[in-house]
Structure 1
Amino acid sequence: MKNKPEIYCVGGAVRDRLLGLPVQDRDWVVVGTTPEAMEAQGFQPVGKDFPVFLHPKTHEEYALARTERKTARGYKGFAVHAAPDVTLEQDLLRRDFTINAIAEAADGTLIDPYGGQTDLAAGILRHVSDAFAEDPVRILRGARFAARFGFSFAPETLGLMRAMVENGEVDALVPERVWQELARGLMGEQPSRFISTLRDCGALKKVLPEVDALFGVPQPPQYHPEIDCGIHAMMVLDDTARHNYALEVRYAALGHDLGKGNTPKDILPRHIGHELRSVDLLKTVSERLRAPADCRDLARLVARYHGDIHRAKQLRADTVVRLFDSCDGWRKPERFTQILQACQSDARGRTGHEHDDYPQAAYLERLLAAARAVDAGAIARECGDPARIPELIRLARIAAVERASAGT
């Protein structure tokens, strides 16, 4: 056993520094020590499945060097061995991709036994060892890295991911972990690559079958020159990223057209009624993934009303007020703005329309501001019949929308 423990910065912090990106969190590996020695130095144990400790001052995570052995299907089916005789190279060998298997010593020396720097320079995601196939979460992580960095996969790694789908390993993924990785993937610079990675290895049918069903389904070419529903959804998703929209908007973009994936074949390429079908499918997806309420609700509203919003200037004033009612624009105007953002990306997510103006957004924002300016309290105070108050407020809002739409 080594007399003095060796401490190395590992993983994403080293990778991001080499890429010239801001380093958010640092993880550390400690070689040549025991849990008892760590606690004696004031480190607080927090790991449930293997020895991980929080530094007494920085609160950064320090993990003992370890090896893993597969004991059961799924991402938790591992037996962990952490001991002073485990080497740094053995610890790095268990990591997912070579770009995450680089360590940095205290003096700045890089320890890169598996060629991670070479793959970083080439923009390649390559698995470190065949142990990659033992953890299905690594497929999702790879998809996330592809969305964040724009990297491509080494052919042998993509082949291994396909084998993991075929042998059923990916079926062990749990909803919480799928959502966690999906959410981070959607926030990447090119979130469509998260979806395309899953599709390339066959995992999309398992993880998001409703999205997978969109690919190969045609749309009317006069409205959608890109024709394919799946391609359109990916273009919409990437437009939300270009505008740096929030996760809720990106999730809504991903799911806004799910109903097109099960359009009856006898009415293709039209998609009559796809909005309501999308709402139903989104309910299923959001419940399965246990998506946060803000994401779930925004996605539902975008799916239901994006067609109406695209036709905003053709809507009667009373229809506009019903739209505001349904979206709770009175109490949540910020959410209505997010709905408009998703609709704008939907309009721009078409070949040749990527830079189109979307006047519907400013138009509806102006109408909502006018309707919200109606003094509901004053109407209530002046009305002698409480039962008539809601209708009087509605009529006042309709009148305000009519004036605003006319530019007066």
Structure 2
Amino acid sequence: MQIYLVGGAVRDTLLGLKPHEHDWVVVGATPDELIKEGYQQVGKDFPVFLHPKTRDEYALARTERKAGKGYHGFEVFADPSVTLEEDLIRRDLTINAIAQNDDGELIDPYGGVKDLEARVLRHVSDAFVEDPLRVLRVARFAAKLAPFGFVLADETRTLMQEMVSSGEISDLTPERVWQEVAKALATAKPSIFFEVLDQVGAVEVLFPELYQLHDVTQPVKHHPEGDVWIHTMMVLDAAASLSDDLNVRFAALVHDLGKGITPKELWPKHHGHEKGGLSLVKAMANRYRLPKNTLNFALKVTEYHGIVHKVLDSEGQPHLKPQTCLKLLNLTKAFKQTTELSLLLTACEADARGRLGFENRPYPQRDFWLALAQAGSKVNNQEIIATGVQGAAISEAIERKRIELIQAYMDAYSAEKAEL
């Protein structure tokens, strides 16, 4: 029995990163031998075991043969006769096909170290085409490793394009697609994930709502970066720089989908795109079975990001009616806690910053909305009840008082701005 550290742990260590997990390959062993040593077998598809102490994953060296469609369409052969080189050749990228023995010696039969040094993402073998999920995985690695300057090898890009053209990418399960998207959204540069997928034709197949943002014009004054696709990618990266929250990042990705269905004769304006995008966000979320909280938050950002921006006009003066502001504050339960409101404001700030030349501009709307929430929360419910109102009239009186408090804050804010 020989045990080797493989995959991401080796790659990340060579890049100077701290590995998040350690995966191991066991050569020359049987399942019974590992079980006798206290390893716990997990899953039915692959011979994978958990270490009795560290709980790291140990997989028997195996080969795979394509026998059907999709991610699960493989026949797995695990046997003591399978060599380390045979196991490594079935992996996706050369940089993920490097092993390390107990002495720290690297086993690199497919040039992974060279590609690491050259910052190239290259497939290991032609077996790459057998698993359509690898199209998304490679795009995710491109996003994950973007800070290091990795680029996609031309031959790998061509192979990915052929895989998309074959149609098999459509056989991926919704859960697997969303899992890769969620991991990509967690990277420092998530736009790279979608840009790589776009280069190989996968965005059009998997995310048609995003694809139709290409070449859709916007007012140059507000969007000097160009079309809605470019703006969306910039907003996504701005969101990644502002927040680690998955919901914020996904909302940033889909907030302007409605612009993709604006009739061309109305361009570059997109009146009503906020509500127009709601059905598109739902369609994408339902297709990939997103968590309900992720969908619901994205819908709020999509519908209300315009209102959030417009709370202050170009001169920095309050611009909305207090009733309109109260609606959004109630929607985000801002008078009980400002967590959701703050996240929504972060997504909107990313929208404001995701424009060429606007990346570092202040976003005073954030503090203004939070101040409105604080002002509207200063309602004394007991005083209202003491006036003798009952039933539904109590909540109506509370609403009227909140509108009064919000208006008072706006007036005071305007007066202060005028003095300055």
1:380–1:386 contact (8 Å) kept in structure 2: no
* Correspondence 1:2-401 to 2 at 5 A: 5-150=1-146, 151-312=150-311, 313-380=318-385, 382-401=387-406
Q: Which moved more, 1:387-396 or 1:76-85?
A: 387-396
Structure 1 stretches lacking a partner, 5+ long: none
How far apart are the structure 2 equivalents of 1:176 and 1:161? 21
Number of aligned residue pairs = 404
Percent identity, please. Answer: 50
**Offset at residue 384 of structure 1 (A):** 3.2
**Offset at residue 137 of structure 1 (A):** 0.8
1:71–1:77 contact (8 Å) kept in structure 2: yes
How far apart are the structure 2 equivalents of 1:158 and 1:331? 50
Paired AA for residue 139 in structure 1: V
Paired AA for residue 317 in structure 1: P
**Offset at residue 332 of structure 1 (A):** 4.7
1:220–1:270 contact (8 Å) kept in structure 2: yes
CA RMSD after TM alignment: 1.2
How far apart are the structure 2 equivalents of 1:367 and 1:174? 44
Paired AA for residue 404 in structure 1: Y
How far apart are the structure 2 equivalents of 1:37 and 1:118? 36
How far apart are the structure 1 equivalents of 2:118 and 2:34? 38
Q: Which moved more, 1:235-244 or 1:102-111?
A: 235-244
Paired AA for residue 110 in structure 1: L
2:140–2:193 contact (8 Å) kept in structure 1: yes
How far apart are the structure 1 equivalents of 2:371 and 2:255? 24
**Offset at residue 356 of structure 1 (A):** 0.7
Paired AA for residue 118 in structure 1: K
How far apart are the structure 2 equivalents of 1:233 and 1:133? 30
How far apart are the structure 2 equivalents of 1:146 and 1:375? 54
**Offset at residue 381 of structure 1 (A):** 5.1
2:242–2:346 contact (8 Å) kept in structure 1: no
For 1:235-290, what per-residue CA distance to the aligned partner results, in whole angstroms no more than 9, with x for missing partners? 00011112233111100000000011111112111111110111111111111111
**Offset at residue 380 of structure 1 (A):** 3.5
1:30–1:64 contact (8 Å) kept in structure 2: yes
**Offset at residue 382 of structure 1 (A):** 4.2
SS of the residue aligned with 1:346? Answer: helix
TM-score normalised by the chain length of structure 2: 0.94
**Offset at residue 329 of structure 1 (A):** 2.3
Report the counterpart of residue 315 of structure 2 in structure 1. none
In the TM superposition, structure 1's runs of 4+ consecutive aligned residues that sit over 6 Å from their partners are none
Structure 2 stretches lacking a partner, 5+ long: 312-317, 414-420
How far apart are the structure 2 equivalents of 1:38 and 1:380? 70
